[in-house]
């Protein structure tokens, strides 16, 4: 599986930048997406997809080992939905 460093190296070669600068830019981009999510905002990347904040209510679950009921707390999740263009690129 390619790492952020691998992708940064590819972009650095493609755009004539240093690998360190490219890695910093990529890390900053992901930090910006996460900061927006913390504020409850979705982030759309045209042609790629959408990062959305999803609130999951508290609920009761079951421990599969014992069958005992357990309380599952409410949480906030970051979801990703691929754009039509990305789906078509993957599926031909």
Claim: this prediction has a pTM higher than 0.95:
no
Tell me: do 13 and 48 sit in the same domain. no
Domain that holds residue 31: 1-40
Tell me: do 33 and 48 sit in the same domain. no
HSE-up (13 A, CA, CB side) for residue 59: 7
Q: What is the pLDDT of residues 29-78, one digit of tens each?
A: 999 999 999 999 999 999 999 999 999 999 999 999 999 999 999 999 99
What total of structural domains would you count in the chain? 2
- CATH number for the domain spanning 53: value is 4.10.520.10
DSSP SS3 for 84: helix
**What local confidence, expressed as pLDDT, does residue 4 receive?**
87
**What local confidence, expressed as pLDDT, does residue 92 receive?**
76
Tell me: do 46 and 87 sit in the same domain. yes
């Amino acid at each position: 599986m390619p790492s952020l460093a691998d992708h940064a190296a590819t972009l650095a070669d493609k755009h004539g930048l240093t690998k360190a600068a490219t890695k910093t830019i990529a890390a900053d981009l992901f930090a910006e997406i996460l900061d927006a999510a913390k504020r409850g905002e979705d982030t759309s990347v045209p042609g790629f997809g959408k990062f959305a904040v999803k609130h999951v209510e508290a609920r009761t679950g079951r421990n599969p080992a014992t069958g005992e009921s357990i309380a599952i707390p409410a949480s906030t999740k970051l979801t990703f939905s691929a754009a039509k263009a990305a789906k078509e690129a993957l599926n031909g």
